[in-house]
Structure 1
Amino acid sequence: MKLTSLTLAAALFGGAALAGEVGPKEVAFTEDGAIEASLTGTAGDAANGAIIMGTKSKGNCVACHEITALADVPFHGEVGPLMDGAGDRWTEAELRGLVANAKMTFEGTMMPAFYKMDGFIRPGDAYTGKAPTEALTPILTAQEIEDVVAFLVTLKDE
């Protein structure tokens, strides 16, 4: 019950459910789209990050990216760049920014913003007849972003 109350509070008050957690509307991006500070103040869990990246209902990063470390997850995509060596190509802050909202770094990217609540273009009622009117919640939580980043920084060139 307590978790449900926190989730409801997060939805009602802009996403900052826990003290010290940066809500989606309070994220500070650098000029280049990086996020220097942790969104939670808690270290990410790389093992959980790997699970999130391969889970369809969460990050589903493998739908667009090939990730050799996740070879056991089927159906890797070829739309986005190969994630092998991501920990060498980008800093932790850059990776955090890319996962939270890659459009802050690469304006025309097709990559979804995983930690954003507004500014979306929604299909109208004429398209589906079921256009939502309520506020959207982020695809990933702040801690899930930190977990994915923790996994990505482990992906080094060999």
Structure 2
Amino acid sequence: MRLALIVVVLLAAPAAAEPLRSYSIAGDAIVQPLTGHPGDASRGRTLLANRQASLCLLCHQAPVPEPHAQGTLAPDLSGVGGRLSEGQIRLRIVDMAHISPSTIMPSYYRISDHPRTAEAWRGRPVLGAEDIEDIVAFLVTLKE
């Protein structure tokens, strides 16, 4: 039983940290993909639907077939691609605090120095650049 618990903890730990890529903010958007190329919407949908991988559904609801355990703290993501541009969605995932300093949404592409950051997340962002681009690629398809 103890071995199974250790395996679960290892699987839940984030991947090795990659250096953060630079990006430019233009108004309320990051226009250029962090990776230099568009993400994979299919992979982004899978990441978004996995509460442990992206954490999105802890707070948001989304039009995915896994309706159980979706959050109600944040806006519903249905139609977000019709309301926001790709660059606006990207900035909100990368660093929502840039737009709204009092937000409770984490900055997914920033390294936190907060003392209450869990050991597994110290020195690394919550999501890598590829993961963010994949989620952005999926969210822009949600046009209602």
TM-score in terms of structure 1 length: 0.73
Once the two structures are superposed, what CA deviation does each residue of 1:37-88 show, in whole Å capped at 9, x if it has no partner?
11111221111111111223321211111112x1325201100001111001
Task: Spell out the pairing of 1:39-118 with structure 2 (5 A cutoff).
Answer: 39-68=34-63, 70-118=64-112
What is the RMSD of the two structures over their aligned residues, measured on CA atoms? 2.2
In the alignment, structure 2 segments of 5+ residues that lack a partner are 1-14
Which sits farther off after the overlay, 109-118 or 134-143?
134-143
| Secondary structure in 2 matching 1:67 | coil
Once the two structures are superposed, what CA deviation does each residue of 1:70-107 show, in whole Å capped at 9, x if it has no partner?
13252011000011110011000000101111111122
| Secondary structure in 2 matching 1:100 | helix
Q: Distance in 2 between matches of 1:153 and 1:107?
A: 24
Aligned equivalent of 1:142, options 118, 129, 135:
129
Quote the offset at 1:35 in angstroms: 0.5
In the alignment, structure 1 segments of 5+ residues that lack a partner are 1-6, 17-22, 125-130
Q: Distance in 2 between matches of 1:56 and 1:38?
A: 23
Task: Tell me which stretches of 4 or more aligned residues in structure 1 moved more than 2 Å.
Answer: 7-10
Structure having the higher Rg: 1
Aligned length: 129
On the 8 A contact 2:59/2:71 being kept in 1, the answer is: yes
Identity, % of aligned positions:
31
Quote the offset at 1:9 in angstroms: 7.9
Q: Distance in 2 between matches of 1:108 and 1:76?
A: 23
Q: Distance in 1 between matches of 2:30 and 2:45?
A: 20
